Structure 1
Amino acid sequence: MPQHHSFNIGQRLELVLGRLSPTAPSGSYTVVRLLPNDSEDREYRIRHDRDGHERVVRESQLRRLAAPLG
Protein backbone atom coordinates (compact mmCIF):
# COMPACT_ATOMS: atom_id res chain seq x y z
CA MET A 1 0.00 0.00 0.00
CA PRO A 2 1.53 3.37 -1.02
CA GLN A 3 2.51 5.84 1.65
CA HIS A 4 1.24 9.40 1.43
CA HIS A 5 3.02 12.63 2.25
CA SER A 6 2.22 13.96 5.73
CA PHE A 7 2.57 17.62 4.72
CA ASN A 8 0.93 19.63 1.93
CA ILE A 9 2.04 22.21 -0.61
CA GLY A 10 1.88 25.65 0.98
CA GLN A 11 2.23 24.32 4.51
CA ARG A 12 4.76 26.15 6.70
CA LEU A 13 7.15 23.94 8.66
CA GLU A 14 10.38 23.97 10.60
CA LEU A 15 13.51 22.20 9.35
CA VAL A 16 15.14 20.03 12.01
CA LEU A 17 18.86 20.66 11.73
CA GLY A 18 21.05 17.59 11.85
CA ARG A 19 23.66 15.63 9.95
CA LEU A 20 21.64 15.80 6.70
CA SER A 21 21.23 19.58 6.85
CA PRO A 22 23.89 20.99 9.22
CA THR A 23 24.29 24.36 7.49
CA ALA A 24 20.69 25.12 6.56
CA PRO A 25 19.32 28.31 8.13
CA SER A 26 16.83 27.87 10.93
CA GLY A 27 13.36 29.35 10.77
CA SER A 28 10.22 28.56 8.86
CA TYR A 29 10.01 26.94 5.43
CA THR A 30 7.12 26.51 3.01
CA VAL A 31 6.50 23.28 1.11
CA VAL A 32 6.62 24.08 -2.62
CA ARG A 33 6.54 20.56 -4.07
CA LEU A 34 5.86 16.96 -3.01
CA LEU A 35 8.51 14.73 -4.57
CA PRO A 36 7.87 11.18 -5.72
CA ASN A 37 9.84 8.48 -3.97
CA ASP A 38 9.26 4.91 -2.90
CA SER A 39 10.91 5.25 0.49
CA GLU A 40 9.00 5.44 3.77
CA ASP A 41 10.71 8.80 4.35
CA ARG A 42 8.96 11.01 1.78
CA GLU A 43 10.77 13.92 0.15
CA TYR A 44 9.77 17.56 -0.28
CA ARG A 45 11.10 20.69 -1.96
CA ILE A 46 10.89 23.49 0.58
CA ARG A 47 11.66 27.24 0.43
CA HIS A 48 13.09 29.23 3.31
CA ASP A 49 10.59 31.97 4.18
CA ARG A 50 13.25 34.69 4.63
CA ASP A 51 15.97 34.10 2.05
CA GLY A 52 13.93 32.19 -0.56
CA HIS A 53 16.56 29.44 -0.91
CA GLU A 54 15.04 26.07 -1.88
CA ARG A 55 16.26 22.64 -0.83
CA VAL A 56 15.12 19.02 -0.95
CA VAL A 57 14.57 17.37 2.42
CA ARG A 58 13.10 14.19 3.83
CA GLU A 59 9.92 14.11 5.88
CA SER A 60 11.89 13.06 8.97
CA GLN A 61 13.73 16.40 8.79
CA LEU A 62 10.52 18.42 9.10
CA ARG A 63 8.17 19.26 11.93
CA ARG A 64 5.13 21.43 12.30
CA LEU A 65 5.75 24.96 13.52
CA ALA A 66 4.86 25.53 17.16
CA ALA A 67 1.67 27.55 17.56
CA PRO A 68 2.40 31.15 18.54
CA LEU A 69 1.67 32.02 22.15
CA GLY A 70 -1.21 34.36 22.88
Structure 2
Amino acid sequence: MQPHGFSVGQSVELFVGRYDGNTPHGAYTILRLLPNDGTDREYRVRHQRDGHERVVRESQLRPGQASFFR
Protein backbone atom coordinates (compact mmCIF):
# COMPACT_ATOMS: atom_id res chain seq x y z
CA MET A 1 0.00 0.00 0.00
CA GLN A 2 1.29 3.43 -0.96
CA PRO A 3 1.79 5.94 1.93
CA HIS A 4 -0.09 9.22 2.17
CA GLY A 5 1.72 12.21 0.64
CA PHE A 6 0.51 14.72 3.25
CA SER A 7 0.43 14.63 7.05
CA VAL A 8 -2.01 15.69 9.75
CA GLY A 9 -1.79 19.43 10.45
CA GLN A 10 -0.33 20.26 7.06
CA SER A 11 -1.75 23.20 5.12
CA VAL A 12 -2.77 22.32 1.56
CA GLU A 13 -4.50 23.95 -1.38
CA LEU A 14 -7.61 22.24 -2.78
CA PHE A 15 -8.20 22.39 -6.51
CA VAL A 16 -11.77 21.54 -7.46
CA GLY A 17 -12.98 20.31 -10.81
CA ARG A 18 -16.09 21.27 -12.69
CA TYR A 19 -18.01 18.33 -11.20
CA ASP A 20 -17.19 19.17 -7.57
CA GLY A 21 -20.24 21.42 -7.14
CA ASN A 22 -19.95 24.36 -4.76
CA THR A 23 -16.86 23.11 -2.94
CA PRO A 24 -14.68 26.16 -2.30
CA HIS A 25 -11.08 25.97 -3.45
CA GLY A 26 -8.29 27.44 -1.37
CA ALA A 27 -6.47 26.70 1.87
CA TYR A 28 -7.38 23.62 3.92
CA THR A 29 -5.82 21.86 6.89
CA ILE A 30 -5.37 18.06 6.94
CA LEU A 31 -7.34 16.66 9.90
CA ARG A 32 -7.08 12.94 9.29
CA LEU A 33 -5.54 10.39 6.92
CA LEU A 34 -8.26 8.04 5.72
CA PRO A 35 -7.66 4.38 4.92
CA ASN A 36 -8.41 3.11 1.42
CA ASP A 37 -7.04 0.51 -0.96
CA GLY A 38 -7.02 2.70 -4.06
CA THR A 39 -4.04 4.53 -5.49
CA ASP A 40 -5.54 7.99 -4.79
CA ARG A 41 -5.27 8.49 -1.00
CA GLU A 42 -8.10 10.24 0.87
CA TYR A 43 -8.05 12.86 3.61
CA ARG A 44 -10.45 14.60 5.98
CA VAL A 45 -9.75 18.34 5.63
CA ARG A 46 -11.11 21.60 7.09
CA HIS A 47 -11.41 24.79 5.07
CA GLN A 48 -9.34 27.48 6.81
CA ARG A 49 -11.92 30.22 6.24
CA ASP A 50 -15.40 28.70 6.63
CA GLY A 51 -14.46 25.76 8.90
CA HIS A 52 -16.40 23.18 6.88
CA GLU A 53 -14.93 19.70 6.76
CA ARG A 54 -14.75 17.50 3.66
CA VAL A 55 -13.26 14.27 2.39
CA VAL A 56 -10.97 14.85 -0.60
CA ARG A 57 -8.61 12.83 -2.77
CA GLU A 58 -4.86 13.41 -2.81
CA SER A 59 -5.01 14.23 -6.53
CA GLN A 60 -7.09 17.32 -5.62
CA LEU A 61 -4.44 18.68 -3.23
CA ARG A 62 -1.22 20.65 -3.57
CA PRO A 63 1.17 21.67 -0.77
CA GLY A 64 0.13 24.96 0.83
CA GLN A 65 1.82 27.44 3.13
CA ALA A 66 3.35 26.05 6.31
CA SER A 67 0.95 25.81 9.23
CA PHE A 68 0.23 23.49 12.09
CA PHE A 69 -2.96 21.84 13.35
CA ARG A 70 -4.71 23.94 15.97
Q: Which TM bucket (shorter chain)?
A: 0.7 to 0.9
1:53 equivalent in structure 2: 52
Aligned length: 66
Equivalent residues of 2:15, 2:26 under 8 A apart = no
Runs of 4+ residues deviating >6 angstroms = none
> Superposed, which structure 2 residues align to 1:4-43 within 5 Å?
4-43=3-42
Distance 2:55 2:18 in 1: 14
Distance 1:42 1:58 in 2: 6
Root-mean-square deviation (CA, aligned residues, Å) is: 1.6
* CA-to-aligned-CA distance 1:5-47 (integer Å, 9 cap, x gap): 0000000000011045242112200000000000000000000
Q: Unpaired runs of 5+ in structure 1?
A: none
Give the percent of matched residue pairs that are identical in Structure 1 and Structure 2.
62
Q: Unpaired runs of 5+ in structure 2?
A: none
TM-score normalised according to structure 1 size: 0.85
Higher relative contact order (CA 8 A, sep 6+): 2
